[in-house]
Chain A
Amino acid sequence: KQEVTQIPAALSVPEGENLVLNCSFTDSAIYNLQWFRQDPGKGLTSLLLIQSSQREQTSGRLNASLDKSSGRSTLYIAASQPGDSATYLCAALTDSWGKLQFGAGTQVVVTP
């Protein structure tokens, strides 16, 4: 059974510092790895999707890497801003029908 872990559960950084968020998964047989953002009282917003054949994906200040052999993905957010404060979740796509296995998330606070 696939298990997805995100450590730490919470993180606080000063504005301008780079953010590094970690995600680990136990079964390397994944179709893709996705990163989501969740704001309080709201649903999830997709940030990046890395296919199993890819090593990384970039969008603006966001960069995500994937190392299937070690069961790890890392989300980098450059030059953090207070607006980046949210909970970030990673999810592994575990079957061909689209079933996502989520981690519990990392709650990020960026202080001005």
Chain B
Amino acid sequence: EAGVAQSPRYKIIEKRQSVAFWCNPISGHATLYWYQQILGQGPKLLIQFQNNGVVDDSQLPKDRFSAERLKGVDSTLKIQPAKLEDSAVYLCASSLLRQQETQYFGPGTRLLVL
């Protein structure tokens, strides 16, 4: 079974530029998560999708971050404009449904904002 795919793996941009990350979850997984992991910290949930719908985006900085999940499969996370403090690893995870299901993580996208 193929795992969670993410691209790009690395991205370097200057502040105020925009950037987009892509995630392809495990086939058949209804729930998709985007996490932000700042160096030395644990991952923080940014947004959670159940199929096409948003379940939780309470920690998403909506003035600059946006995310969508088209047709309940792939997802993109966008930052516009980027700030220095957005430098982090962005992790995508998926699970069959929710609650007590194991979450499977992709390799992450490492973003450096200069």
Contacts and interface: CB of A to CB of B under 8 A. Distances in A.
Interface of A: 4, 31-32, 34, 36, 41-46, 49, 51, 89, 91, 93, 96-100, 102-105
A51 B41 CA distance: 24
Interface of B: 4, 31, 33, 40-45, 48, 50, 55-56, 91, 93, 95, 98-108, 110
Contact of A104 (B40, B99, B101, B104): B40
A104 B38 CA distance: 10
Contact of B99 (A36, A89, A91, A97): A97
A96 B104 CA distance: 17
Contacts of B99: 31, 93, 96-98
Contact of B104 (A42, A46, A103, A105): A46
